Amino acid sequence: KNMNLSRIIFSGLAVSAVLFAATFNMTSALLAGQTAEIAKKSCAAELNLPAKVCNCIGLRSETELNENQQKFFIAAITDDKQKQLALRSTLTPDEMIKVATFMSKSPQQCARQ
């Protein structure tokens, strides 16, 4: 159990590192109800976390992050570097901190549910 928690913590930290390295400018139409689905698929594929944890992260991303934060989150988890700087000018420092906090803590929080 400690090994799984360590893996989840490490995964959250890895996602946070990607968050600061990548940005993305996605249309609003894509976000309408799709952030959770993208998050679930990327979580399962990239982080190898249990489906329950990935589903939780996906659903929480849509309720806890605003539209621009969701765009940034998607960029980070899909590692799309084509539009790296698109959102840096649209997110406030507080919004960036909230996304980073979400990405580092949500795997752990979802695993405990």
- The tens digit of pLDDT for each residue in 60-110 reads 998 999 988 988 888 888 777 765 578 878 889 999 899 899 989 999 999
Tens of pLDDT, residue by residue over 21-50, are: 333 334 444 555 677 888 888 887 777 888
Q: At residue 11, does pLDDT exceed 90?
A: no
Residue with tokens 């982080």: 47
Token pair belonging to 18: 């990607």
Residues 6+ apart with CB under 8 A from 67: 28, 31
Q: What are phi and psi of 23, to 5 degrees?
A: -135, 170
Check whether 12 has a pLDDT greater than 60.
no
Residue 18 pLDDT greater than 50, yes or no = no
DSSP alpha helix (H) spans, the chain: 2-21, 28-31, 35-42, 51-64, 67-78, 93-112
